[in-house]
Structure 1
Amino acid sequence: MTIPSAHDVAVAAERRAAARLLLAHPLVSSSGPHADVFPLVRRHAEWLRKRFQQVLGYRLVVDSSYARLFKAGLGPRAGHQLLRSTGTPFTPRTYACLALALSVLVTAPEQMLLSQLVADVRAAAADAEVELEETGRAAGKRTLVAALRQLVEWGVLVETHGRVSALAQETEGEALITVDRELARAVVAGPLAQSRDGADLVRRAADPGFGGARTYVRRMLVETPVVHLDELTDAERDWLRTRQRREAQAFFELLGLETEIRAEGVALVDPEDELTDLRFPGTGTVAQAALLLLERLVERLRPTGSGTASTGGTLVVGVAVPDGLVDEVLAGLVVEYGGRSGWQRGYLEDPGALRDAVLGLLARMRLLAPAGPVRAEGHGVPEGYEELPPGRQVTDVRGARPGGGGWVLLAAAARYATRVTVRSGGAHHEDHDVQQELPI
């Protein structure tokens, strides 16, 4: 075995640091918050271009002042939400304001007044026949400010004098902003010219091209918390099963990620806890309530080992959550923890809002999935699908769709359960942690 030299080790570390930065922050500028790592991106630009294209099918553009990794997305219902400074997700109107502002900024002067930008956005909305909330009203102002703040965060706008938040003030303050037109052109990653509408843009952007199943599965592994095998098509599942050990080494070399392989699926874990836009467990009312809810659900619903693949049965990837159980458990948690843990009053007074926020977080973490049709044992797809009865052990989650009213607790949730210790028989009475096939 050849031992790498100190130079080779240093180069590998630099390339990994640059790749990690681009994966977490696909738009990086030489003067932005990650300016200290930007020289590494430029130094290893050619290697990074080739590796991102080969492994993930992502296109990388590196300029003298910025680098843009054009991620492809994973298709409908798989996007990552943009958030306001308050932590609330962007609304469709906020996204519309963001798109309209970008359409104006790609040809804008290098510097302009905030009031002129607002006027241009209104004119662009009229030309596109997009109906926006009146930007003169408080709610409309806040929506537009949220979009402009996002552009400031990306470096597309620089607040030279004043702040874009001045727009939301009662007197509508003014500001002078500097525009980076090159960055504005680089924001949109999808093929706009070839797309008929927004849905077509999302579909085309997610197309893995010649890489097919290989490229799509790699993207899922990198961009989602966990990939359950039964979420994949037959071709995708077969490729992952035959390649998962070799892929583990490739992901470690490129990104420093460790691979957890279980019967139900695969998860990439970052030892540095940096490559994520969503932290769980976390702080705050929603994250705390979600963790406690998850613990209770796993405790009550964990399947027995009798139906697992290791015993010759069907592999269980999840269990149906009985109707009303989430509301029941959350109500108990509010009583037990809400007051003494300082949970937000708005959630304490609105159980429905707490429920939606908690379930949304757990769904994004791929620990719960909306219940939909699931495959009956021995049947193909889509023939043989049946509606999910309460309490049913789930063996296929590919058919899960929002709107069915119920939820499936997925296998990966078991890692957040309270650890159970049993005393074995025999002379030594050793303690053993109970291990099942279900946890990922």
Structure 2
Amino acid sequence: MTAQSREAAFERSQIIRALLVHPLLHRRGRHIRTLDLARRHQAELRRWFDHHIGWQLHVERDRLRLFKIPEAPGRRDIEGPTARQSALYCLLLAVLEDCGRQTVISELAGKLTAVTATHTALRRFDATVHRERFDLVAMVRLLCRHGVLTPTGEAGTAREQEKEYVAGSGDALYDVDHRTASLMLAAPVAPAQAGGPDELIDTLGAGQGRTADEMTRQALMRRLVDEPVVYLDDLPGEQRDYFLAHVEELLAALRLGLDTRVEVRAEGAAIIDEELTDLEFPMTSAPSFAALVLADRLCSEVDSRSPRRTFVPHPRLLELTAEVAADLLKVITSINGHPIDAIRVKEVALPILIRLGLAEHISGGIRIRPGLARYRAQPGLGARKGAENLMLFGAHDLPSSPTLPSEDDSDEPL
């Protein structure tokens, strides 16, 4: 490989990495060069995504859009939009088609009320309800982050106006980017052509003329690039068999395409790259600190048992969170403004571990997943925080086994 070809491969890997984290990129700030490079390499990039992942890449001068469709679409980030908010987001995109170059929240609310009153299958939007206004503003803000809407005034002023709207008065004005709005929905078929919600993603599994092996490989690659940890026990039988038979081929595609490191153990695999995942372990909040301390307690709980068991019943979990609460009280006084106790620790810390695939709810308690060992505290060094050189499954994985070839609706403040 020549120096020029190596440079081209590196440029493509940087674009792929950027798109996996931010599937919609605009020509501004640090992404200007990314879009320029994407236009230069667009043929190779489209082939890579189509061959390895099965996702469509759209390239134009001012926007770069990767139409990501998760392999497991039923999974939802606990910090992401609720089901109601997600529905409102899609409805906002629909009603924005009838808006001009600018709109206000009250206009959007009126259009939502009208469209949901017309279609009886939709839950009616009621702007007189505080929760509905709260959810509407939350999705307006998400549209702003995605570049569909832009406040016409200063960000601080818009924020105050949005709060006033939620409180029952006030309004806020936005510019509308209709081109970006048209690129937001990622579905193999247009919503108007789908017979129901399930059909929006059915054609992804249909394979579009691909062989069974190709479909299985792409499904595995989607999981590997889009999930914090992929456990073999969670995979359908054909995917697990394919992974075991073609692990080196899959690793090579990830390493070359993403310029990253992949760790594979008997229990599963994960990309070890803090820049790539949008589900990185948070490091600055009180809940994340509580989650790290709880992770260490759970690891110790498993290590102390003979024989090892990864199941922790609810009563024992409360005992452990009580111990964590006692430790936390030595360094902090509250979590999100609430007193620290066993229940509060469980409510804020456990969901973080579950969201990251490090634990899961089962009947009567939780099951600890092997990846949790990555966050085990090391003697004298404090809690592990996910640096790139840490082993995903720890020096002593949970449970030990031979290795593969390695390489709510709560009204939170707006």
TM range (shorter): 0.7 to 0.9
Q: Number of aligned pairs?
A: 376
- Find 2:133's aligned residue among 137, 141, 150: 141
Q: 1:316-327 maps to which residues of 2 (within 5 A)?
A: 319-327=310-318
2:250 aligns with 247
Matched, 1:56 2:88: no
- Judge conservation of contact 2:329–2:340 (CA < 8 Å) in 1: no
- Judge conservation of contact 1:208–1:215 (CA < 8 Å) in 2: no
Between the aligned partners of 1:263 and 1:102, the Cα distance in structure 2 is 44
Structure 2 stretches of 5 or more lacking a match? 381-393, 404-414
Between the aligned partners of 2:313 and 2:172, the Cα distance in structure 1 is 54
Between the aligned partners of 2:29 and 2:106, the Cα distance in structure 1 is 25
RMSD: 3.0
Between the aligned partners of 1:193 and 1:199, the Cα distance in structure 2 is 13
1:75 aligns with 72
1:116 aligns with 107
Deviation per CA, 1:300-326, whole angstroms, max 9, x where unpaired?
A: 21388989xxxxxxxxxx721123122
Q: 1:1-400 maps to which residues of 2 (within 5 A)?
A: 4-31=1-28, 34-80=31-77, 83=79, 89-129=80-120, 130-132=122-124, 134-161=126-153, 165=159, 166-169=161-164, 170=167, 172-190=169-187, 191=189, 192-201=191-200, 210=210, 211-270=214-273, 273-280=274-281, 282-302=283-303, 319-338=310-329, 340-344=331-335, 346-348=337-339, 351-371=342-362
> CA shift at 1:205, angstroms?
5.1
Q: Which moved more, 1:170-179 or 1:332-341?
A: 170-179
Higher-Rg structure is 1
Between the aligned partners of 1:416 and 1:37, the Cα distance in structure 2 is 33
Between the aligned partners of 1:133 and 1:350, the Cα distance in structure 2 is 38
Q: Secondary structure at the match of 2:112?
A: helix
Q: Secondary structure at the match of 2:57?
A: strand
2:412 aligns with none
Q: Secondary structure at the match of 1:35?
A: helix
- Judge conservation of contact 2:286–2:336 (CA < 8 Å) in 1: no
Q: Which moved more, 1:253-262 or 1:206-215?
A: 206-215
> CA shift at 1:111, angstroms?
2.7
> CA shift at 1:152, angstroms?
0.8
Deviation per CA, 1:79-104, whole angstroms, max 9, x where unpaired?
A: 445x5xxxxx4223322221111011
> CA shift at 1:287, angstroms?
1.2
Between the aligned residues of both structures, percent identity stands at 29
> CA shift at 1:30, angstroms?
1.7
2:374 aligns with 415
Distance 1:305 1:60, change over 3 A: farther
- Judge conservation of contact 1:114–1:176 (CA < 8 Å) in 2: yes
Which residue identity lines up with residue 416 of structure 1 in the other structure?
Y
Between the aligned partners of 1:75 and 1:154, the Cα distance in structure 2 is 23
- Judge conservation of contact 1:289–1:330 (CA < 8 Å) in 2: no
Between the aligned partners of 2:168 and 2:339, the Cα distance in structure 1 is 35
Distance 1:335 1:303, change over 3 A: closer
Structure 1 stretches of 5 or more lacking a match? 84-88, 308-317, 372-403, 422-432
Which residue identity lines up with residue 71 of structure 1 in the other structure?
K
Q: Secondary structure at the match of 1:198?
A: coil
- Judge conservation of contact 1:331–1:351 (CA < 8 Å) in 2: yes
- Judge conservation of contact 1:61–1:69 (CA < 8 Å) in 2: yes
* TM-score for the superposition, normalised by structure 2: 0.81
Between the aligned partners of 1:244 and 1:342, the Cα distance in structure 2 is 47
Q: Which moved more, 1:90-99 or 1:30-39?
A: 30-39
Distance 1:34 1:75, change over 3 A: same
Deviation per CA, 1:325-369, whole angstroms, max 9, x where unpaired?
A: 221111121122135224425443575454233222111211112
Between the aligned partners of 1:347 and 1:277, the Cα distance in structure 2 is 27
Deviation per CA, 1:200-240, whole angstroms, max 9, x where unpaired?
A: 54555566653322111111111111111111122111111
- Judge conservation of contact 1:138–1:168 (CA < 8 Å) in 2: no
Distance 1:336 1:240, change over 3 A: same
Deviation per CA, 1:2-41, whole angstroms, max 9, x where unpaired?
A: xx33322221221111111111111112247633422122
Between the aligned partners of 1:34 and 1:102, the Cα distance in structure 2 is 24
Between the aligned partners of 2:328 and 2:218, the Cα distance in structure 1 is 44
Which residue identity lines up with residue 140 of structure 1 in the other structure?
E
- Judge conservation of contact 2:373–2:398 (CA < 8 Å) in 1: no
* TM-score for the superposition, normalised by structure 1: 0.77
- Judge conservation of contact 1:75–1:205 (CA < 8 Å) in 2: no
